[in-house]
Chains A and B, each alone.
Chain A
Amino acid sequence: MRKKLFVLTLVVLLAGLVMVPGRASSHREAPLISSDPQADTTDVYAFVSPDAPDTVTLISSWIPFENPQGGPNFYRFGDNVLYEMKIDNNGDGVEDITYQFRFTSQTRNPDTFLYNTGPILSPDSANRNLFQTYTVTRIDNGRTTLTAGPMLTMPDNVGPASTPGYGGNGSGVYEYNEVVGGRARVFAGQTDDPFFLDLRVFDLLYGANLSEAGVDSLAGFNVHSIALQVPKAALRAGSPIIGVWATASRPATTTRSAGSETSSGSFVQVSRLGMPLVNEVVLPLGQKDKWNASKPADDGQFLQYVTNPEVPKLLQAIYGLQAPATPRNDLVQVFLTGVPGLNQPPGVKPAEMLRLNVDVLPTSNPQRLGVLAGDIQGFPNGRRLADDVIDITLQAAVGKLLGVNTTLGDGVDRNDVPFRSSFPYLGLPHSGGNPRNLNPNPPRGN
């Protein structure tokens, strides 16, 4: 009995030693900071299709920095995310046409968590245990005008054992009938991240030597992309100039009962993207929450950050590059209104979106610096996959459009993998078998 008491006392004392006052135990400490990569759009592209010049290709990419070795959960679109591509075809800042994409995950064998149960030789392979289908819905001024699907997304490029000969068996491209103009095409699934830049540029802006840049920070990473190829006639109105942006929204739930909530309740926009680098270069930190929830029609509230931007001031302070006088109406044209005579719609309302004049036909000799190099089919007239938007934006920021002579850039001039010559043009995703080319003995197959 005494021995038992002694042991008990000892145990209690020891327990006291490991416990420090200040423990949290009852409340659940729900995570407070959460990233949402599935609703995070990385880039938007809009260009006249080089191999089908009576169509326009629209692309949005999602889920930044996908490691090709994504297992065991792998990457997919969000089932509860409403993905949208919006088009303003009369310059009033409000969408006239909306394409909605909704994804549904399905499991063939609910008893396993595995992505695949054997090699996946086609998008509809029975070995593809976890797969996603999606639908496309077109809305014209609030009215649903077409719905296509369900269709299959392209699987992730898991590796040569699971996805041998990736891309060789089925492209993931589907055709459907547009409201006017005939056939259109759609693709959704994993691709190479088409953006190329040295992310150190954001470090170097704060003091160092820009010539140190030159490494494509996004080389070897994948994203998930949604691509559409639509007849011009189905997009344009009177003017040939269309404005394009992408949004992601999630359904809101409420703490108090106000009827029945479902996952298709009222949607709240959680991200938006049209022009590249607005979030990174133009907007100050404290404005980003407001920006992600805002609509282009209300962009007048952000005008001051464009007319009086931070980056040229930094470049002047650090590199001695003379900042052009403000207000920067040249940048207002790049980011908000389009350039007169090229991609500015008549009666335009300043609003941030990618503005494309669909009447400018593809050139056989595209320049990575786009309009700055005299190639008016490129950025900022829409955006092609190979347009070097970092260099263009940096040069525009220091006044290239005002006649300033500059060759400013990040030293990365092209993507790490070639773009394909036909829809969806994006590079195939990097294989999980050789992530970021780090494997000295890469497996054969892909």
Chain B
Amino acid sequence: MKSNLIAVLIVVALAATVGMANWRERHRQAPRRDVAADARHAEELLRQARLTASPRFAVEAEGLLTRALAEDPASPQTYEARRALASVYLSRHRFRDAIAIGEQSRTERPLDPINYGIIGDGHLELGDYQEAFDAFDRMMQLRPSAAAYARVAYARELQGDLAAAVTSMTLAAEATAPDDREGLAWARAQLGELYLQMGSRRDAKREFTAASHAFPGHPFAVMGYAKTIAAEGNLAGGIDALTELAARAPTPDVYARLGEWLERMGRRDEAERQYALAESAWRMDAPEPKNLARFLADRGRKVDEAVAIAERAAEERHDIFTDDALAWTYYKAGRIDEAKRAIARALRTGTKDREILGHAEAICGRG
């Protein structure tokens, strides 16, 4: 009697399991994939990548979009997902792939300003500035927005017109949706960086504080604030802020700057540790070899390797920062004529970037 009951229970349980499996199967197939939601999800993952400095979010976004686009890569319903994939490619420094998608999307919807943002971002990073600026102007003419203002601001900054950059970045901050706190913090932190470049530390401090108010702990706000107080002589405060940042959003840049400040305070061993972290991190940073090259050149180490890395980077891109890295490594290797040619290219947009100008002075000072 008892064993009969158990048998019945087992049969019922099996039936239920099979039924559940069938039900799951049916429902897995039933709803059409919401590709537009996947696109929005990917955009949020990219935002998370910015906040955590962790590349896994961009990798996750790429996987999500690749799956979303697998079924129907070309239909109008997947337009947003394709556009989002271009953003992911930008984030992963696959600039030519991003431009290719941007151009396709532009053919499809020539009045969508976002396509011009993608195309412009790609060209900008590759160093094709005229194409980039044309795309940003078109984006702006179609629809002035926080995204368009921020890009015009960067274009102005590259040309050394910092006042116009501040004007446009202020418009970006004010056009950001009030509930987009991360976007607001991003724009305010960019303004802070512009003021720092202009030597206006008081304004910079105000902007970085506003950025932190909008989004407490935003990495760009923390980094900017630390740089400002360090410039005021408060190296210990800057080190504290970056140590905290390195623990949750590590980037090679944070390690390198920590190393620099520790060294200036005479804390040589701790500085060496940060430099080692920075070098290691930059070696893993596949898409940005120019940063590693410049870092090595700065420290006067492995200069031959630095030159080789910078030359390889320059085969891929000719943006002014790559040209600058190339110039600096040549200079450190004593190849002054090549350094001069490269630094002239780095100065071609009229940039007032302090590091580039400093390199130019050193290189040209050598006669």
Contact = CB atoms under 8 A, between A and B. Distances in A.
B286 A22 contact: yes
Given A31-B146, A255-B137, A270-B144, A80 B175 contact: yes
A293 B109 CA distance: 14
B272 A26 contact: no
Contacts of B87: 32
Given A31-B150, A251-B144, A254-B137, A261 B46 contact: no
Nearest to A21: B286
B63 to A, nearest CB: 12
B171 interface: yes
B167 A15 contact: no
B158 to A, nearest CB: 9
Interface stretch (B178-186, B330-338, B355-363): B178-186
B312 to A, nearest CB: 15
A286 B321 CA distance: 38
Contacts of A26: 288, 290-291, 321
A285 B161 CA distance: 38
Nearest to A9: B276
Given A26-B288, A34-B177, A255-B133, A20 B145 contact: no
Contacts of A29: 46, 49-50, 90-91
Contacts of B75: none
User: By DSSP majority rule, is chain B's interface helix, strand, loop, or mixed?
Assistant: helix
B167 A263 contact: yes
A30 interface: yes
Interface in A15-38: 15-16, 18-38
A255 B177 contact: no
A202 interface: no
B58 interface: yes
Interface in B163-210: 164, 167-168, 170-171, 174-180, 183, 186, 190
Contacts of A35: 177, 180
B250 interface: yes
Contacts of A15: 250, 276-277, 280-281
Contact of A20 (B56, B136, B321): B56
A73 B114 CA distance: 27
Contact of B146 (A25, A34, A76): A34
A20 B49 CA distance: 12
Given A255-B133, A289-B143, A79 B284 contact: no
B142 interface: yes
A292 B111 CA distance: 11
B328 interface: no
A253 B141 CA distance: 9
B284 A268 contact: no
B19 interface: no
A80 B171 CA distance: 7
A255 B136 contact: yes
Interface in B287-323: 287-288, 290-291, 321
Interface in B146-160: 146-147, 149-156, 159
Contacts of A74: 178
Nearest to A76: B178
B237 interface: no
Contacts of B146: 31, 34, 36
Contacts of A254: 137, 140, 152
Contacts of B283: 16
A11 interface: yes
B128 interface: no
A263 B287 CA distance: 37
Interface in B34-92: 43, 46-47, 49-50, 53, 55-56, 58-59, 76, 87, 90-92
A36 B55 contact: no
B244 interface: no
A439 B214 CA distance: 26
A75 interface: yes
Contacts of A80: 171, 174-175
Contacts of B124: 27
Interface residues of B, number: 86
A29 to B, nearest CB: 6
Contacts of A19: 55, 280-281, 284-285
Contacts of A37: 177-179
B133 A256 contact: yes
Contacts of B280: 12, 15-16, 19
Contact of B125 (A23, A25, A27, A79): A27
B33 interface: no
A271 to B, nearest CB: 9
A46 to B, nearest CB: 27
A290 interface: yes
Contacts of B24: none
B93 interface: yes
A8 B276 contact: yes
Contact of A23 (B190, B273, B284): B284
B259 interface: no
B180 to A, nearest CB: 7
B113 interface: yes
Given A29-B46, A34-B183, A255 B156 contact: yes
Contacts of A11: 273, 276-277
Contact of B253 (A25, A75, A113, A263): A25
B175 A78 contact: yes
Contacts of B155: 255-256
B117 interface: yes
25 contacts: A4-B269, A12-B277, A15-B280, A15-B281, A19-B280, A23-B53, A25-B53, A25-B291, A26-B291, A28-B190, A29-B91, A30-B190, A31-B146, A31-B147, A31-B150, A31-B180, A32-B117, A32-B118, A35-B180, A36-B146, A76-B178, A79-B174, A263-B167, A268-B140, A286-B108
Closest 7 CB pairs of A and B: A19-B284, A255-B155, A250-B144, A255-B133, A21-B286, A289-B111, A30-B150
Interface of A: 4, 7-8, 11-12, 15-16, 18-39, 70, 73-76, 78-80, 113, 250-257, 261-263, 268, 270, 285-286, 289-290, 292-293
